[in-house]
Structure formats: structure tokens, C-alpha cells
Amino acid sequence: LKRIGDHAFYSSAIKGNLALPEGLEYIGSHAFYGCSGLTGSLTIPSGVHIIYSLSFSSCGFTGNLTLPMGLTEIQFNAFSDTKFKGELNIPSTVTTIGDGAFANTEFNGTLVLPEELISLGSSAFSGCWRLSGVVDIPENIVAIPSQLFYDCKNIEGIVLHKDVEVIESQAFANCFYVS
């Protein structure tokens, strides 16, 4: 299997663990959207370079998410509203994280953003209340998007570099421990 098309399993009743084959190269937009019966962990195969919009949004995953080196783009709401746990390890090859990509997930630990990141969408980590530690914003990011870390109640600090030009509305709202 090399390709799973757009809306392939959209809101279907599939249940249990999802094991994607290593030869997979494409997972389409909304491919597994709303599959609340999916549980456990998810490993994205190394041949996948883009996670398209809403591919896994609103799924029932309860384990860890493993993203491959070589992944370059995570589009809007790709993993939003899932219950993944454990640390979120974003590969250093990722250059784009879309709007709401990880919004309302249950990842924990310190978030490390890739140094080569050039695009960071609004609400990308909004509602990720279990994230903690200090987040270092990469140097290529000169505008902090709106609601980037909205409601990330346990983040302890943000490191901004000298070239940041703008911080949009509610970027760090309800981040009670940011000092």
C-alpha cells in the first residue's frame, strides 16, 4: 500500500490499533478524520513527507505518536482533538506546522521546535495543557501567530530571539506559569 486517499476512512467505525505499512507514501486530507474507535499509538511511516489537513483529527488515539525523520510539513488540524499522550517529538526536518496542527491534544513534557522551522500556524498548540517546560521559538519565526499556545497552562517560559517583530493576539493567553 502506497497511498491512502482523501476522506478514505472519514468518520468510519474502524476500531483498535492502526498499523500503517512502511511502504506508505501518502495519507490524504481527512483520511482518518473522526475515527473515534482508533486507539493506542500511531507510527507514521518514513515514506510520508507531508501530513495533510485533518488527516487524523478527532481520532480516539490514546498512546504515543511517532513522526518520521524526513517529514517536512504538518498541515492544519492534522492531529487536532486527539488524545495522544507522551512527549511530542517533532523531527528536525519539519519546516511547516499549520494552524491548529496539534490543538487540544494531551502531549506532555517539554516541546522542542525544529531549528529549521519557517512557518508556524495560529493555534498550532492551543489547548495543549499538559505541555511544560520552556519553549524556544526558532530564529526563522519572526511573527508569533495568534493563540499559538493559548491555554497551555503548564508551559513555564518562552524564549524569543531578537528578530521577533510581532506577537499576535492571545499567543500566550492563559499560560499561567510563563515568566
DSSP 36-99: TTB-S-EE--TT--EE-TTSSTT----S-EE--TT--EE-TTSSTT----SEEE--TT--EE-T
pLDDT in tens, 144-160: 999 999 999 999 999 99
- Asked if the model's pLDDT at residue 178 lies above 90, the reply is no
What pLDDT is stored for residue 53 in this prediction?
98
Per-residue pLDDT averaged across 18-32, rounded?
98
Residue 179 — very low, low, confident or very high, per pLDDT cuts 50/70/90?
A: confident
What pLDDT is stored for residue 37 in this prediction?
97
pLDDT in tens, 69-125: 999 999 999 999 999 999 999 999 999 999 999 999 999 999 999 999 999 999 999
Cα three-residue angle 109-115-119, rounded to 5 degrees: 95
Classify each residue of 100-112 as buried b or exposed e, where b means 16 or more C-beta atoms within 10 Å of its C-beta. bbbbbbbbbeebe
What pLDDT is stored for residue 177 in this prediction?
87
